[in-house]
Amino acid sequence: MKKKDFKIKDNINVIRTIKNVEYIPVDIYKANVFIFRKNTLKQLSKYWDIEKDCVGITKNFLEENGNVIIYLGKNPTKEYISHELCHATQMIMHSIGHKHCGKEADEPFAYLLGYLVKEFYKK
């Protein structure tokens, strides 16, 4: 995963910066998936209503700035990480107007989810 500063607007439209946030670029769809870890809870809770014992949550800011944000709390399991990456995939695919295939394999969705999982576990 890459790292860069994340800029977020607070309630009065002042831009704040959270330093060195991990992210997965999804250049083909002009999106990024930012991964916030438990050590960013204090900073993020200023903008989201996140409880201390939250395992994870995914938010869609694609229309605003091309970002999906995932917060992962303390000790998320592989299953939970995959769950949140699936939400991020859904959000990105919806933002580009992709219609989910109900009866057949949805290859674009599957490829994007596979990419996000692979990039997440790169160390």
Check pLDDT > 80 for residue 123: no
Could you tell me the residue ranges of all domains in the chain? 2-121
Which structure tokens are listed for 63?
A: 């229309």
Smallest CA-to-CA distance from 65 within 28, 31, 20 is with: 31
What does the alpha-carbon distance between residue 44 and residue 8 come to, in Å, rounded to a whole number?
9
What pLDDT score was predicted for residue 41?
A: 73
- What stretches of 1-123 show up as alpha helix (H) in DSSP? 41-44, 62-65, 78-95, 107-121
Residue type, 111: Y
Quote the tokens at residue 77: 């399991």
Determine the pLDDT at residue 19.
Answer: 83
Nearest-angstrom CA–CA distance, 88 and 92: 6
Burial 48-69 (b: 16+ CB within 10 A, else e): eebeeebbbbbbbbbeeeebbb
Across the strands, what pairs with 15? 9
pLDDT tens digit sequence for 3-61:
888 877 666 667 777 788 899 999 999 999 999 887 777 777 766 777 777 788 888 87
Reduced to 3 states, what is the DSSP secondary structure of residue 57?
strand
What's this model's pTM, rounded to 2 decimal places? 0.84
The partner residues of 72 in beta bridges, in order of sequence, read 56
pLDDT tops 90 at residue 78: yes
Residue-wise pLDDT for 94-111, tens only, equals 999 998 777 778 899 999
Query: Can you give the pLDDT at residue 119?
Result: 96
